[in-house]
Structure 1
Amino acid sequence: MTIEIKDLHKNFGKNQILKGIDLTIDEGHIYAILGPNGSGKTTLIKSILGMVIPNKGLIAVLDKPIKKDWRYRKKIDYLPQIANFPPNIKVKELIHMIKDLRNSPSAEGELIALFGLEPFLNKKLSTLSGGTKQKVNIVLTFMFDSPLIILDEPTTGLDPMALIRLKELIQREKAQGKTILITSHIMQFVEEMADKILYLLEGEIYFKGNIGELLEQTGEPDFEHAIAALTTTGSHA
């Protein structure tokens, strides 16, 4: 297994964000983590990344507990929903900076070509459109060869061709046995990409399974209506 979580709790002040999450993420699958705003998706992801410290519970990544051991992070590639980089840095400078920080073999050349970023390498980040910035973020995420990839709203701002390229890239990484976690509000993208759905509601897992099981449980005719039904009924799987 890639990730194991036991009895995970997280409070911010009096707000209980995660309420005893138990979860196993198996190797080589694409998982979509879904749920309405405030359901705990971001807190769960940031707990796995070590960016949020839980109040209680255990997280193990690649069979090792992550507590007090930051080195596991080198085995995760993470695309944040909003990446804040210095606006005056050029694209190629940013890529070199991330390569230096990671100090791992990288394959940025192929990805730059794939997303058509050659004309933008000498441009400052502040001059780029939102979609072009997202392509840069995708290159930074996929240029290293890590077994676990976490993508937070990866489709934001992408044009149709870039979206096709992203989907191909994700499938290629999966074919190499990698484990991929995705959050997205675009249900068509989730339906195309995900092997397993994890649905969070008010800090608890309300559903875990594949899309067929979700349709069967909700009795809905399609994926979008099934997700909507989970949100309104809040019935435990």
Structure 2
Amino acid sequence: MVKVKNLYKRFGKLEVLKGIDLELKGGNVTAILGPNGSGKTTLIKSILGLVVPTSGEIYVKGENVRKNWNYRKYIGYMPQIAVFPENLTLKELINMLVDIRKEGYNPNMKEEIIEGFKLEKYMDKKLKTLSGGTKQKVSALITFMFDPEIYFLDEPTVGLDPISSSFLKDKIRHQVERGRLVVLTSHIMSEVEEIADNIVFLLEGRIYVTGAVAEVIQQSGEKNLERAIAKLMEKGYNA
């Protein structure tokens, strides 16, 4: 669904991405991991069209994304920190977004998310009055209710209580079972180990390791993903 070929990105003299080659297929959850400054945010924003690469190509469902915004209709993006128009109510925000985007809107999905997150009582409340955790639920609602084929989820469970976190993870797995591609970032390795099928580990702008979660753990000789990633980082920095 997403293919990245020889991708470079420079910000002035700083080279952030250094020849990324990557193919992401539907029907799985891929976690893009790496320490701060590794390039993972720049990679994701390049795919989303929020950053223009210095060179290289990106394809989404076979469409080259360069100077092409049409492909975004296939994508749902849940940022780590969402910013909403504060004076709108949740109901007004939903209606506005449905009116703007229209394509892909799935009212049944919307109702499932509202019910699962227990958002009914917030529908007539101003967005500025909502807590951080509730805003995170709203961000998930907006992402899922347009039923995209590709999801980019940045730290999706941050601020969620255990019940809401479990509900969101179940929705993610359900989308994967429908053949969707889910790409996520998270600093919670136990969460990645729980829901991700594959990982792409970036280090200093390059793909250092990629593969199935179970294989990466096994090859590291460690007992869980957190320890495996720590070993990868230590090895990479000492190389």
TM-score by length of 2: 0.95
Match of 1:26 in 2: 25
Q: Is 1:166 aligned to 2:181, yes or no?
A: no
* 2:120 counterpart letter in structure 1: E
Which one-letter code corresponds to 2:217 in the other structure? L
Aligned partners of 2:91 and 2:220: how far apart in 1?
48
Give the whole-Å Cα distance in 2 for the aligned partners of 1:195 and 1:186.
15
Decide whether the 8 Å contact of 2:26 with 2:176 is kept in 1.
Answer: no
Q: Which amino acid aligns with 2:227?
A: H
* CA distances 1:47-70 after superposition (whole Å, capped 9, x unpaired): 000110000000000011111110
| Cα offset, 1:125, TM superposition | 1.1
CA distance in 2 between counterparts of 1:134 and 1:204 reads: 30
> How big is each residue's C-alpha offset from its partner over 1:29-53, in whole Å with a ceiling of 9 and x where there is no partner?
1100000111111100100001100
State the partner residue of 2:187: 185
Partner Cα distance (2:186, 2:91) in 1: 28
Corresponding residue for residue 56 of structure 2: 57
Which of 204, 209, 229 is the matching residue for 1:202?
204
Measure the CA separation in 2 of the matches of 1:109 and 1:82: 23
**Partner residue of 2:106?**
106
Select between 209-218 and 33-42 the one with higher mean Cα deviation. 209-218
> Who is 1:97 aligned against?
96
| Correspondence for 1:228 | 230
Structure 1 contact 99–106 (Cα < 8 Å) conserved: no
Q: Which amino acid aligns with 1:121?
A: M
Mapped pair 1:120 → 2:122 = yes
Distance (whole Å) between structure 2 residues aligned to residue 81 and residue 222 of structure 1: 25
1:45 alignment counterpart: 44
Rounded to whole Å, the distance in 2 between the matches of 1:29 and 1:64 is 20
Give per-residue Cα distances to partners, 1:122-144, cap 9 Å, x unaligned: 11111111000000110000001
Counterpart of 1:80 in structure 2 is 79
- The answer for the alignment partner of 2:15 in structure 1 is 16
Consecutive aligned runs of 4 or more in structure 1 exceeding 4 Å deviation: none
For residue 191 of structure 1, give the secondary structure of its aligned residue in structure 2. helix
CA distance in 1, matches of 2:224, 2:83: 37
Aligned with 2:46: secondary structure? Answer: helix
Distance in 2, matches of 1:212 and 1:28, equals 17
Q: Residue 175 of structure 1: which of 177, 193, 203 is its match?
A: 177
Give 1:83 shift.
Answer: 1.1
Identity of aligned pairs, percent?
A: 52
Unpaired runs of 5+ residues, structure 2, are none
- Quote how far apart the aligned CAs of 1:156 are: 1.0
Distance 1:94 1:201 in 2: 38
Cα distance in 2 for residues equivalent to 1:148 and 1:111:
18
